[in-house]
Amino acid sequence: ESLPQGVFLFLSLLFLFAAVWVGLALSRTISEPVRALAKAAQRVGMGDMDVALPEHGEDELAFLARSFNAMTKDLKASREAIEAQAERIERQREYLGQLLQDLLELSRVGRQEEPDESLSVQEVVEAVLLDLSAALSERRVELDLAREWPVVRYSRTRLRQVFSNLLTNAVK
């Protein structure tokens, strides 16, 4: 007993429709996370390190999302470290530029001092500590500083040089 041709055609079309529907549903579950990953990667490429993908499940796409999120977290931390280092380098450049300018003035005019000014020793020490923060943390130096510092009348560059020399020598 064979099925009438109309029933066979109907079942074939029904099966074909079901296969297409399952294929579309399956492709959507794969293509949407991949599309989200592509958009997120594009945002990271434009500098947005705060982008994060949802990490649902334990499949390959969830693993990819976790890896992507870990990568963006590492990139953000690296970027912040580079920016902090660039700021320290800029402060050092300004400080060394001032020292160089002072040396050039001394070589031209003789012994000419930078004018004394009223200075907070705490501000000068904090600036030196910022400049030396990488070296201090590398050697795991912990400082116990006074709560109150005097205000003195002296050359800012010279006072900064004194504390920089003291701390640098102490770290060695």
Which residue in this structure is represented by tokens 């000014």? 117
The pTM (predicted TM-score) of the whole model is 0.51
Span 133-150, pLDDT tens digits: 888 888 888 888 888 889
> 33 or 79: which carries more pLDDT confidence?
79
Span 42-101, pLDDT tens digits: 999 998 999 999 888 888 888 989 999 999 999 999 999 999 999 999 989 998 888 888
Buried/exposed code over 126-136 (b: 16+ C-beta within 10 A; e: otherwise) = ebbeebbeeeb
Tokens of residue 158, six digits:
């010279």
CA gap 48, 146 in Å, rounded: 41
